[in-house]
Each structure stands twice: as structure tokens, then as C-alpha cells.
Structure 1
Amino acid sequence: MLSFLLSRVLSLLTVVFGVITLVFFLLHIVPGDPVQVMLGESATPADQAQLREKLGLDQPLLQQWLTYLIQLQHGDLGHSLYSQEPIMDILLQRLPATIELAIAGLFIAILIAIPLGSLAALRQNTVYDQGAMIFSLLGVSIPHFWMGPLLIIIFSLNLGWFPVSGREGWSSLVLPALTLGTALAAILARMVRATLLEVLHEDYIRTARAKGLNEIAIILHHALRNAALPIITILGLQLGTLLGGAVITETVFAWPGIGQLTVESIQQRDYLVVQACVLLISLSYVLVNTLTDLLYAGLDPRVRYRV
């Protein structure tokens, strides 16, 4: 297990370094000048040169990259080019909203997918199974930028049940969480159905039924536990996405999370904030995937790690 953990840590550092380097150079290659965005088109060349020197943007690109890497080694993400606030403070302000939305979306997905996928597996080739698969097909096919406005039109503008956008109490969380949760539930329900169909015909399931256990106990304590590994994998990957900030959903609902911060920073050419957001997203992916791997051993004792 120790060698496995060390290999995962090494993999984490390698991925993060690659992401940081790639994003740094890509952001500096794309058209756009943060100095012009900050000062406006009417600024004189002298003012632009002075601000560029103050921000360190007059240095060679390689020197800027090395400086950024040295700052990261000391835990310093730098200051926003646009607002001059410490980037760590900006991330800490936005991160709770993203975590809140991610947990809510994941909860809705599990609440929908587990019963729906289980019902489809237990009633294979029936109307219940077909209905579950139609829901899954729709959930996968409908993009967030269409589902979000649709929910706003129905539940906010027509019915007036929930706010259109923003983050003001639990009611403003419902629609963005539904947008994220239904899409994830569609994928998860298909996975639950497929994995349950593989284990429902195993000998230990027949033995449990022969002992007189009711169907709910068999599904919860025997079938789902042994079918959990692919489901946990999907949940881990999707949770990494949600924690990184569901960019489209946060933008549609003006949800003040990491995703919206990333879009705003790209529009402002705020290189350092974009790099910090991408760093956070990549770390979320790798850490969640590592935790998912560690859960495997607890769920299935047959799993053995070899490096």
C-alpha cells in the first residue's frame, strides 16, 4: 500500500506540473493584453509600459514561468493582475459555493440514479427498464446550457418557485443542482443497471434468496456492494468535475464559484487567476481519483495494489 501511495503522489505531482506549464504558455500565447484590459484603449504607451513593468509582464516568458514556479513552491499563488487581491483569498471566497453546488448535485444524482438503475435491472426488458433508459438517453443528450435556461423558464419565470440566478439561500441552489444532478444521474443510472445485471445472476445472490432474504436487503447488502466499483469510479470522476467548477452551469445561473471565476478571469486576461483555477481543478481531479482508488480495497477485499 505504501508503494501505491508513493506512486500516486508522484503521478499527482507530474500531472500538476504538466498542467501548470501547459496552461501558463497557452495563456500567454493567446491574443489579448491584460494591461490594455485594465487601462483601456485610451491609455498612453508610457502608462502601459509602466504598468507592464510593475506586473512583471515585461520580463521574458521563460523568466515569468520560472518565477511563477518558485512562488508556487512557497505556496504563493500571487496577486490578481486585475484587482491586485491575493489569489488565495479570491479562491477561498469562491470555493465554498462550488463545494456546496457539487455536493448538492452529487446528492441529487445518487438519489435519482440508484433507485432508477436498480429498478431497471430488476425489471429488465419491461416498461420500467425502457423508461429508465429513455431518461438516461435524454439526460446524456441534453447539454447544461440548454437544461439550465429551460429550468429557469419553467420554475423561475413561469411558476416563480425559485430565483433566476445568484446564491441567496437554499432555494437558489435547487435549479443549478438539478441541472448538474440530472445529467450525472443519467450516466450513473445506466452504470448501476449494467453492473447490477452482472451480479444478480451470481451464486451468492441465489443463496441469499434461498435463505429467505427480501429483495431490498439482497440489493442493498449483497448486489450493490459487489457492483460498487464501477459506480464509485464514475462518481469519483464526476465529483472531480463538480469540485473543479461546473463552468457552464455556474455561468448560466450566475453562481459565484470557481467555474464562473475562471470565465471572468479569461475575459479579463488575468493570467495568474486562470492558472490558479486550473491548478485547483487538476488537484481536485487527481485527489478525488486517488481517494477513489483507496476506497476500492475497503469495498472489495479481492483488490490488491501492485505497482
Structure 2
Amino acid sequence: MIQYLIRLVGSVVLITWVVSSLVFLLIHLVPGDPVAVMLGDWASPADEALLRKQLGLDLPIWQQYLHYMGGLLHGDLGQSLFYQQPVSNLIAERFPYTLKLTVMALLIAVLIAFPLGFWAARRAGHWPDYVSMTVSLLGVSIPNFWLGPMLILIFAIGLAWLPVSGAEQPWSWVLPAVTLGTALAAILARMLRASLLEVFHEDFIRTAQAKGLPPRTVFGKHALRNALLPVVTILGLQLGTLLGGAVITEVVFDWPGLGQLLVDSIQRRDYPVVQACILIISVAYITVNGLTEVVYAWLDPRIRLAK
């Protein structure tokens, strides 16, 4: 197990380095000059040259890359070109909002998916199964950038039950969390249904039924516990995806998280902030996937022995 963890940590470190390098290179290939954005159209060439030198943008790209990687090794994400403050401060201010939105979306997804998937599996081939799978198919098919405005029109503007945007009011998280968690709920429901149907045909389920155990014990204790392994795996993988999908949702609802900061920084050509936001989201995704693999290997020893 220790050797497996060492290999896993090495893979995470390598992938993180590749992602950070790609982010740096791709951001510097994007057209646009951050100095021109900061100073405006009427700035003189001398002022632009002075600011570019102060920001280190006059250096060759390989020297900028070395400075960037050196800063990462020391935990320094750089200085924001627009906000004129350390990027780590901006990340520390915005990341809790994104984390809160992700956790609430995950909770909503689980609360929707597990009853829906279990109901569909218990009534497979009947109308509850068809209704559940139709609802899950709609959840997968509807994009966030459409679902979000529709929820705003119905529940915020039409019924005036919830806030339109922002994070100041107590229930501001509900609409963005529902928007973000709907697709995940649909995926989990379909996966849980498929996994339960496979477990229902196992010999130990027939044995439990032959012993006269009540259906609640057979399906709730024996079947559900054995069907959760692939669902937990998908849940962990999709948790990382939620962090990336939060970008669109945060823009739609003006949620003050990393996604909103990322989009604003792209428009301002604020290279350090863009690099840091993408890096944080990528590292979170990689970390969640790594932890999911550890949990999966712990639940199923065949995985770590195969490594």
C-alpha cells in the first residue's frame, strides 16, 4: 500500500507540473497586452515600456517561466497586474465561496440521485423507472448556462422566493447550487440504478431473500452497500468536475468565487491571476481524483495489488 501511495503521489506531482507549464504557455499565447489594458489607449510608449519592465513582462518567455515556477516552489503565486496585490490573497478571499458552492451542489446531487436511482432500480421496467431515467436524461442534457437563467426567471423574478445573484443574502447559494448539482444528480442516479440492477442478480441477494429477510434489509443493507463502489468512484471524479463547472455558474449568478475572478482576469489580461485560478482548479481536480483512487484501492484490494 505504501508503494502504491508513493507512485500515486509521484503521478500527482508530475501531472501538476505539466498542467502548470501548459497554463503558463497557453496564457502567454493569448492575444492581448495587459499593459495596454491597464494604462488605456492613450498611454505613451514610454509609460508602457516602464510598466512592462516593472512587471517583468519585458523578459524572454523562458525567464518568465523560470520565475513563475520558482515562485510556485516557494508558494508564491505572484502579484496581480490589475489589483496590485498578492494573488494568494485574492485566491484566499474567493476560494471559500467556490468551495461552499461545490459542497452544496454535491449535497443536492446526492439527495436527488440516491432516492431517484434506488426507486428506478426497485421498479425497473415499470413507469417509475421510465420517469426517473427521463428526469435524469433531462438533467444531463440541459446546460448550466441555460438552466441558471431559467431558474432565475422562475424562482427569483417570477416568484420572488430567492435572490437573483450575489452571495450577500442567506439563501443566495440555492439557485447556483441547484444549477451546478443537477447534471451530477442525473449521472449519479443512472449509475446507481445500473449498479443496483447488477447487484440484484447476485447469489447473495437471492440467499438473503431465501432466508426470509425483509425487503428493506435486503435492498437497503446488502444490495446498496455492494452497489456503492462504482458510485463512490463517479462521485469523487465528478467532485473535481464541479469545481471546473462552477466557472459558468458563478458568472451566471455573479457568485464571487474563483470562476468569476477567472473570467474577469481573462478580460483584463491579468496573467498571474488567470494562471493561479486555473492552477488551483486543476490541482483540486487532480487531488480529488487521487484521493478517490486511494479510497477505491482501499475498498477493493485488487486495484492496489494490480499496480
Counterpart position of 1:154? 154
Partner SS for 2:172: helix
Task: Verify the 8 A CA contact 1:247 1:260 in the aligned structure 2.
Answer: yes
User: C-alpha distance in 2, partners of 1:229/1:174?
Assistant: 29
1:20 alignment counterpart: 20
- In the alignment, what sits opposite 1:81? 81
1:86-101 pair list within 5 angstroms = 86-101=86-101
The percent of aligned pairs where both chains have the same amino acid is 60
Q: Residue type of the partner of 1:100?
A: K
Give the aligned partner of residue 215 of structure 2: 215
Q: Mapping of 1:128-139 within 5 angstroms?
A: 128-139=128-139
**Matched residues in 1 for 2:31 and 2:297: separation?**
48
User: Could you report, residue by residue, the CA deviation over 1:239-290 in whole angstroms, capped at 9, with x for unpaired residues?
Assistant: 1122346111010000111111111111111111111111111111111111
Q: What are the within-5 Å matches in structure 2 for residues 48-127 of structure 1?
A: 48-127=48-127
1:170 aligned partner: 170
Aligned to 2:30: 30
CA distance in 2, matches of 1:211, 1:98: 49
Cα distance, 1:137–1:290 mapped onto 2, change above 3 Å? same
In 2, the alpha carbon distance for the partners of 1:284 and 1:212 equals: 47
What amino acid does structure 1 have at the position aligned with 2:24?
F
In structure 2, what residue type is equivalent to 1:247? Answer: V
Write the mapping of 1:197-212 to structure 2, written as runs, cut at 5 A. Answer: 197-212=197-212
Residues 47-56 or 245-254, more deviating = 245-254
2:195 corresponds to? 195
Deviation sequence 1:74-130 (CA, Å, 0-9, x none) = 111111111111111111101111111111100110001011011111111110000
Q: Distance in 2 between matches of 1:247 and 1:30?
A: 19
CA contact (8 A) 1:136 1:189 kept: yes
Question: How far 1:21 sits from its partner (Å)?
Answer: 1.0
1: CA distance, partners of 2:298 / 2:5: 15
Distance 2:265 2:300 in 1: 43
User: Hey, what's the Cα distance between the residues in 1 that align with 2:259 and 2:220?
Assistant: 36
In the aligned structure 2, how far is the partner of 1:261 from the partner of 1:47?
Answer: 27
- In structure 1, stretches of 5+ residues that fail to align are none
Deviations 1:158-191 (A, max 9, x none): 0000000000233111101110111111111110
Name the amino acid aligned to 1:264: D
> Are residue 256 (structure 1) and residue 256 (structure 2) matched?
yes
Distance 1:227 1:11 in 2: 29
Q: Distance in 1 between matches of 2:300 and 2:221?
A: 13
Alpha-carbon offset, residue 3 of structure 1: 1.1
Q: Normalised by the size of structure 2, how large is the TM-score?
A: 0.96
Letter of the structure 2 residue corresponding to residue 120 of structure 1: A
Counterpart residue identity of residue 57, structure 1? L
Q: For 2:41 and 2:100, how far apart are their aligned partners in 1?
A: 39
CA distance in 1, matches of 2:170, 2:201: 43
Q: Distance in 2 between the 1:178 and 1:256 partners? A: 17
> Could you tell me which amino acid in structure 1 is paired with residue 209 of structure 2?
R
| CA distance in 2: counterparts of 1:148 and 1:247, whole angstroms | 12
- Shift, 1:295, TM fit: 1.6
Contact map agreement 1:179 1:249 (CA 8 A) in 2: yes
Q: Residue type matched to 2:58 in 1?
A: D
TM-score of the pair, normalised by structure 1: 0.96
| CA RMSD of superposed structures (Å) | 1.4
Q: 291-300 vs 151-160, which deviates more?
A: 291-300
Quick check: 1:245–1:258 contact (8 Å CA) kept in 2? Answer: no
The answer to whether the 8 A contact 2:4-2:304 is kept is: no
Does the CA-based 8 Å contact 1:57-1:64 persist in structure 2? yes
- Hey, what's the Cα distance between the residues in 1 that align with 2:244 and 2:250? 11
> Which consecutive segments of 4 or more residues in structure 1 shift more than 3 A?
297-306
Report the alpha carbon displacement of residue 218 of structure 1 after superposing the two structures with TM.
Answer: 2.4
Contact 2:233/2:296, CA 8 A, preserved across alignment? no
CA distance in 1, matches of 2:89, 2:160: 35
1:110 alignment partner AA: V
Kept in 2, the 8 Å contact 1:245–1:257? The answer is no
